[in-house]
Amino acid sequence: MHFSVLGPLAVHGAADHQVPSAMMPQRLLALLLLNANHVVSTSTIVDELWTTAPSKRARQTVQTYVYQLRRALGPEAGGSVETHPRGYLMRLAEDQLDLWRFEDLAARGQAALRGGDPARAAELLTQALDLWSGTPLEGLNAGPVLEARRVLLDDRRLVVLEQRIDADLSRGEHRALLPELAALVAEHPSHEEFTAQLMTAAHRAGRRGEALTAYQRLRRHLVDELGLEPSGRLQVLYRELLRDAPPAAERRVVPAQLPFDIVDFVGRGAEMASVVPTLRADEPRRVVPLVAVIGQAGIGKTAFAVRVGHSVRSAFPDGQLMASLHSADDEPADPGNVLRSFLLALGVPVDRQPADTDDRSQLFRSLVADRRLLVLLDDAASVEQVVPLLPAGPGCAALLTSRVRLRGLPVTSTVELGPLPVEDGVALLSAVLGPARIAAHPDDARRVVTMCDRSPFAVRTAAEKLLSRPVWPLSKFAARLAVESQRLAELHTGALDIRARLDSARARLGSFEGRSLEALCEAFGANRFDIATAATVLDVPERAAERLMEALVDAHLLHIVGVKPSGTAWFRFPDLVRLHAVAGRRVLSRVSAPTSPAPP
């Protein structure tokens, strides 16, 4: 059973469920539905049902109307009308009211429109509007409370209709929209948004005269009926059409997408000195510089790249584009979607963009060929993902970060970020906690940084945790970190969690690499090892172990810590990687272990 208020008041379901035939129970039902799952006070019900002064028995009469409503709805549905001390409540599930379905579809459509997917937005917003079968509560003789809600619902429908038309305009449906917009303008002659949309659609369709006429018609109506001029936004649109210029929303903008540069960035001076001159050039270059910044999860690649971007920003006056190449779910981003975002930022509406990724890439390169533009690609997954996103103009440059070495990518230079020097890590602690607290316990501060693997993310997490615990001496926190089985749990506060970063790094490995990582971490612990001993532990040929070591080193989950006289390498796992892998292996062992039979 479900109810409709977006049109005539209706009850849908079994034959014994129906709208009451009498007017007062009908209005009571409408009032309860529009406030479903909330108590409607008896005084509000009285205000709705009696437009003149209510009788002294109004509250008793309300009880009678509630009884009639329950009878009309039948035994099952009538039970959803609950009596409360202050009034009455109608309890409904999420799918029982068309108004709620409308708001859900409208919200999803609006989110799709903001997210740059006008086709999906138009689909969802159309579905929302299709739920309407007339004016709200059509045919009901409403009182003052319901009439006010009816006006609000009508306005809400018009807002959603405007958004659906915006979505269709973004899809390039301007010609198809002209008849609908002409009818809407005639029906709502004072509605400026519909007139603006009609002007835009007509101009895009090459009907400049119709666009200008629509404005003049609105202006005459507003001046004659209300003594008002059209809004400033509409006047600007009109002047642009007089000049035959594209609407302001379609004109070129200079994108400035670099995020906020953190205040307490520390260290990396040598790396900055090598990257900045490569990206900044005082004369045209034949080859577009592409700098790759690589390193393990949490090593500060994004913060470093953003700092570099701001340092060279003045060299790229035509804009800076930035994209994260992994989603919030840690899935690689589709380069076609990234290009759509880039083209939008450069002023190309979605309806004017090619559908194919290769074509979008060519359009992107054409647009920026003569510009001085910086492109920052964060957390790249593969060469195939990155190549379509690279500019080709001599005034452009690209900077990317990745956890893995992207072999085959034509980079100009590669900067590998390693752990911070201990003193830089202490400086980061000091920047967050204040120098006085560090100066009182310098040796403990160094111990904390060391047990954080000198990782900027882990050090920042430690600092934020200590900041929220002002009475803790650094020695106490260092002692807690020294317990290896608890170290990862200690490096967690608020949204900062080293385990989440390591979970992500582990998830990006193949199944063989992941299982091997865990087995080797448990076998060797903090000790160094070579390829031959790794092959023995894993029971695989040395060639397979060599390929595995290469993959783990490329992913920055394994460090080369020395070279034997024979020319082969010694390896060691970073402590945090090792602790995370061993903990994961033990959890998996507990989950998969057979359950012991119960004692007799």
pLDDT band at 443 (very low <50, low <70, confident <90, very high): very high
**Residue 391 and residue 431 in one domain:** no
**Residue 391 and residue 437 in one domain:** no
Q: What is the CATH number of the domain that holds 223?
A: 1.25.40.10
Taking only the tens place, the pLDDT of each residue in 253-289 is 689 999 988 888 899 999 999 999 889 866 556 778 9
pLDDT value, residue 595: 41
Q: What is the CATH number of the domain that holds 29?
A: 1.10.10.10
pLDDT value, residue 570: 94
Examine the fold and report which residue of 171, 199, 216 is the final residue of a domain before the chain moves on: 171
Averaged pLDDT for residues 150-154: 89
Averaged pLDDT for residues 165-191: 91
Distances (CA, A) of 71 to 80, 83, 93, 385, 596: 12, 15, 20, 64, 60
% the chain with pLDDT above 70: 93
pLDDT value, residue 245: 53
Specify if 574 maps to a domain: yes
Specify if 261 maps to a domain: no
Q: How many domains does the chain have?
A: 5
Taking only the tens place, the pLDDT of each residue in 505-526 is 988 999 999 999 999 999 999 9
Mean of the per-residue pLDDT values for the chain? 88
Neighbours of 247 (CB within 10 A): 15
Find out whether 426 and 437 touch, Cβ atoms under 8 Å: no
**Residue 128 and residue 152 in one domain:** yes
**Residue 160 and residue 184 in one domain:** no
Q: How far apart are the first and last CA of the chain?
A: 54
Specify if 264 maps to a domain: no
pLDDT value, residue 172: 86
Specify if 259 maps to a domain: no
Helix axes 58-78, 42-49, angle to 10 degrees: 100
Q: Does 590 score more than 50 pLDDT?
A: no
pLDDT value, residue 447: 95
Averaged pLDDT for residues 434-457: 93
Distances (CA, A) of 368 to 158, 252, 316: 39, 12, 11
Cα diameter, the chain? 104
Specify if 89 maps to a domain: yes
Specify if 448 maps to a domain: yes
**Residue 163 and residue 281 in one domain:** no
Q: Does 224 score more than 50 pLDDT?
A: yes
Q: H helices within 407-493, ranges in order?
A: 422-433, 435-439, 442-451, 456-467, 474-482, 484-490
pLDDT value, residue 597: 39
Q: What is the CATH number of the domain that holds 407?
A: 3.40.50.300
Distance CA 288, CA 139 (A): 68
Averaged pLDDT for residues 71-76: 79
**Residue 443 and residue 580 in one domain:** no
pLDDT value, residue 214: 92
- Phi/psi at 170 (nearest 5 deg)? -65, -25
Distance CA 4, CA 533 (A): 72
**Residue 403 and residue 431 in one domain:** no
**Residue 405 and residue 518 in one domain:** no
Averaged pLDDT for residues 224-235: 86
Q: Which run of H or E residues covers position 210?
A: helix 208-226
Which class for 53: exposed (0-12), middle (13-18), buried (19 or more C-beta within 10 A)? exposed
**Residue 127 and residue 157 in one domain:** yes
Query: Which domain covers residue 534, as residue numbers?
Result: 509-592
Which class for 554: exposed (0-12), middle (13-18), buried (19 or more C-beta within 10 A)? middle
Distance CA 527, CA 365 (A): 50
Specify if 361 maps to a domain: yes
Averaged pLDDT for residues 290-299: 92
Examine the fold and report which residue of 171, 188, 222 is the final residue of a domain before the chain moves on: 171
Taking only the tens place, the pLDDT of each residue in 330-378 is 899 999 999 999 998 988 888 778 888 888 898 888 888 878 899 999 9
Examine the fold and report which residue of 139, 171, 203 is the final residue of a domain before the chain moves on: 171
Averaged pLDDT for residues 216-239: 88
Averaged pLDDT for residues 135-152: 89
Q: Does 589 score more than 60 pLDDT?
A: no
**Residue 1 and residue 65 in one domain:** yes
**Residue 376 and residue 439 in one domain:** no
pLDDT value, residue 270: 92
pLDDT value, residue 76: 67
Q: Which run of H or E residues covers position 377?
A: strand 374-378
HSE-up of residue 52 (Cα within 13 Å, Cβ side): 1
**Residue 301 and residue 400 in one domain:** yes
Taking only the tens place, the pLDDT of each residue in 113-132 is 888 888 999 999 999 999 99
